[in-house]
Amino acid sequence: MASEERRAERAEIEYKAYEDEHDLPVVMDLVASELSEPYSIFTYRYFIASWPGLCWMAYSRGKCVGAIVCKLDDHRGVFRGYIAMLVVAKTHRKYGIGTELVRRSLKVMREAGADECVLEAEECNRGALALYQHLGFIRDKYLVRYYLNGVNAFRLKLLLPQEVVDKHRAALPDEAKKRIEKAATDYEARLQKDEAAAADKEAETEAAVASETAANLE
Ligand SMILES: CC(C)(COP(=O)(O)OP(=O)(O)OC[C@H]1O[C@@H](n2cnc3c(N)ncnc32)[C@H](O)[C@@H]1OP(=O)(O)O)[C@@H](O)C(=O)NCCC(=O)NCCS
């Protein structure tokens, strides 16, 4: 395609938030044609039905050429965004579409009070690793044989600055604020309970060993 036409087409890209079930097959077809990992309809429904505001599509001349699917929920007391799928059609790569789709999802996550956002990417996926690195994501974990095809992966993470989290949380409705705070305190309580149970168990074992030793010495 001539560079002028590419430029014109690039300028015409439109971004659209997921609206309803009519969008589902469009997203599924694009993801299936561009990603190596197969997903069932249940996986799509799980993400999109629960977090429709975190699914965005990019359109070029009436055709869907990019999509992102994410979620946002409690993870061990942290309010964590997760990018499950990001795809751009081969014909439209390097137009900035992938970056824009991630930016839009991150904005929704930030405004909902997220602490962080994570995703996994194959260790050989140079394009995705570079895209996320430009957006400030770091390599948080190395995941051996993470994908069904046996390929290793990186977990990438973007930590949102505390002042950004505080600012957006303060603007949330009370109910949402309380839900996030409760998840964090519940997790803290669960940790303390587990620690107390582990300490009891250790004390029990020590007492049993001491009494056995004493019996053997008699
Ligand atoms: C990864 C993917 C989503 C990138 O989409 P895109 O719209 O082409 O990305 P962008 O145009 O926003 O690129 C942003 C930056 O990422 C980097 N990048 C993107 N593709 C790259 C590639 N193939 N090689 C190296 N760097 C690349 C570049 O630094 C680019 O900035 P630049 O164009 O200014 O140099 C797209 O290649 C894709 O759909 N791949 C297959 C599915 C996939 O791997 N999804 C990610 C799963 S974690």
Q: Is the CB of 88 under 6 A from ligand 1?
A: yes
Q: In which element (H, E) is residue 80 found?
A: strand 78-88
Residues 111 and 142 occupy one common structural domain? yes
Distances (CA, A) of 79 to 45, 82, 112, 113, 177: 21, 10, 9, 7, 11
Distance CA 135, CA 15 (A): 19
Do 196 and 142 fall into the same domain?
Answer: no
Q: What is the pLDDT of residues 49-104, one digit of tens each?
A: 999 999 999 999 999 999 999 999 999 999 999 999 999 999 999 999 999 999 99
Does ligand 1 lie within 6 Å of residue 67's CB atom? no
Residue 93 alpha carbon, nearest atom of ligand 1: 8
138 with 218, same domain?
no
List the one residue out of 43, 46, 55 whose CA is nearest residue 87.
55
**Do 180 and 145 share a structural domain?**
no
Q: In percent, how much of the chain has pLDDT > 90?
A: 86
Pocket flag, ligand 1, residue 87 (CB < 6 Å): yes
The answer to whether position 166 is within a domain reads no
Instruction: Tell me the pLDDT tens digit for each residue of 138-195.
Output: 999 999 999 888 999 999 999 999 999 999 999 999 999 999 999 999 999 999 999 9
Same-domain status, 7 and 53: yes
Query: How many other C-beta atoms lie within 10 A of the C-beta of residue 125?
Result: 16
Pocket mutation for ligand 1, best pick of 131, 134, 140, 158 (most atoms within 8 Å of C-beta): 131
